[in-house]
Structure 1
Amino acid sequence: MVEKNIVEVDKNDSKTNINDRGAELIKGVKSGISIAIGYIPIAITFGLVAKSSGIPNMVSILMSLLIFAGASQFIGVNLMAHGATGLEIVMTTFILNFRHFLMSSSLTQKIYDKTTKKLLSVLAFGITDETFAVASLCSEERISPWFMLGLNFIAFISWNFGTWIGIFLGDAIPSSLKTSMNIALYAMFIGLLLPAIKESKPVFVVTFIAIFINCLLKWIPLFSFISMGWSIIISTVVAAAIGAVLYPKEVE
């Protein structure tokens, strides 16, 4: 009789645990709806830019499925369109997305301790700037990994959905309009950069240094052997190093 009661209690605990997971998953999806709405038009733009750059549809789709990093995908498409080597593309996107290591490390301090490493690996893949911001601003001291999974899931689905739409539209719109979509890449980066430049002097200085170094590498004949991909890598690393020296502490 006692054993039967224990089994019933275990079943009830299991059901409660599953219900809690489902509730947290749904809560995460709801919290990510605003992110999803913002991702779709950007992902559509990515699909259009990739199409206009001559990138095969399957490559564009796999980039959104396996990379899932907007800025890296845009810069990757641009580098591929200019004939950059695989190493240049990998190095550039690695530097661009290095912050994800920091974001993942930070969130592990906020997620429940008993979360398995396999689940943490899945969560780390889905972290973006926006999902990190939402999770970090949660009022709870600890957040459920299932909440994070729901948050990442809705962002991932919306990004891939938008990519498919962009690729589909790329087949329907005139070639002249597709070609003009290449400017969307630069417009997006300028749109992301200007607010940060206005609010932060260090960002302005480091950005100017990176632009200056890249111009030198492009226009001085001595450096003509350096490809565009390596120019971006060198400019980014050198500008970041100078910024670290000039601004060793976070500016209040």
Structure 2
Amino acid sequence: MQQLWYTGPLASFDTETTGVDVESDRIVSAALVVQLAPGEPTHSTTWLADPGVPIPDGARAVHGITDEQVRAHGRPARAVVAEVTRALAAQARAGCPVVVMNAPYDLTLLDRELRRHHGVALAEGLGAAGLVILDPRVLDKHVDRYRKGRRTLTDLCAHYGVELAGAHDAAADATAALALTRRIGARYPAALGGLSAAELHLRQAIWHAAQARGLQRWFERSGTPERVDLSWPLRPARCGCGRRLEPAHGCEAAA
């Protein structure tokens, strides 16, 4: 009998950062949590980075990491970004799906950090084996589309009865997101259980785009100028002219 994706090995990735702008903010801490099966112990790898810029008060109030801490105990961001990418690449080669809550945030931020410090895109850093991503935010919106209320990690954990101890700590958030994703799969086996993780990865891109279009229409009806990015699990990089940057060739306008 084929193993269901939510009963097999899963990894989970999370970051804490200097802010919420994926184009300019920096990684302060990161965690990769791996669990072979439900109920098994989790194994965590964590990183503390000196982002090279001051941590704003707002970000510090969220995760509690100070400039003094990263200067005393953090490692250069260049080294941390490279190690995180290698760790994710190892999961990709092993065929282990990676849970990333709100993937377009964390993965895009990592992509921009990798470009900033090493001049390569995340896809290049990962190598031939691409990541298979499971995003509990997208999965929950798909299976319970009309439920009202916020869908942050804290909200989803409360809704599904998953413990979140120490919110806004990268390892704690990654551990909770992993358990949450297993719980969503187990609660909705008819909708999600018949698909492999790789098939879910492809479908989440479609589901996220549809969800984003719905949010965009709501913004337009309410007169809000905000634009919603349809891309998942990674927002494409763009050059100053606004065109998409291609990993090997730079701006697509110059190709």
What's the TM-score bracket when you normalise by the shorter of the two chains? under 0.3
TM-score (ref. length: structure 2): 0.27
Larger strand percent = 2
Higher RCO (CA 8 Å, separation ≥ 6 residues): 1
TM-score (ref. length: structure 1): 0.27
